[in-house]
Amino acid sequence: MTRKPENAPVYWTGVASPLGTLLLTAGPDGALTSLSVPGQKGGRTVLDDWRHDPGPFRAAEEQLAAYFAAELKEFRLELRAEGTEFRERVWAALDTVPYGATTTYGEIAARVGASRAAVRAVGGAIGANPVLILRPCHRVIGADGSLTGYAGGLERKIRLLELEGVARW
């Protein structure tokens, strides 16, 4: 994993969506580093030294619009979310959950080779996902089929799952 230099600029833009204005950030190379929804637990907020520039986000804006119009099932964007090695393994496992499907925390734990006892740690890693929607943490549900926490709020999780044709809650 390549870490950005401490003084590297952060670019940001806001993108209108059915979930509210999404805040996207990217590094100088254009790779997306975060996608936050309004009021998100642990979401990012614009800092004074960030540079507002919609240019690096055109592909993301187009793909998000197509996703919300139910015309896109898989994002093809470069993501550069940084976390611990464990979190990055969990996030990579999230990337394998297909559109319109759900999985459980236990299934994600098994995919990353974590013990059954590590399900809480897996939940923590999923909750720390910095690129909501693009990395589909909304597709993770409880072992009993119930909805569980979502940093963007359960109402948004329901809307995303309904958009993808998953059973209604």
Q: Active site includes 137?
A: yes
Largest CA distance in the chain: 46
Q: Residue 15 is which amino acid?
A: V
- Partnered with residue 25 across adjacent β-strands are 12, 34
Q: Residue 69 is which amino acid?
A: A
Q: Roughly how many angstroms between the first and final C-alpha of the chain, as a whole number?
A: 38
How far apart CA 137 and CA 30 sit, in angstroms, is: 22
Alpha helices in 41-153 (DSSP H): 58-68, 85-94, 105-111, 119-127
How far apart CA 64 and CA 75 sit, in angstroms, is: 8
Write the CA distances from 85 to 1, 11, 89, 91, 103, integer angstroms: 9, 25, 6, 10, 21
Which entry of 60, 90, 126, 137 is annotated as an active-site residue? 137
Q: Which residues are catalytic?
A: 137
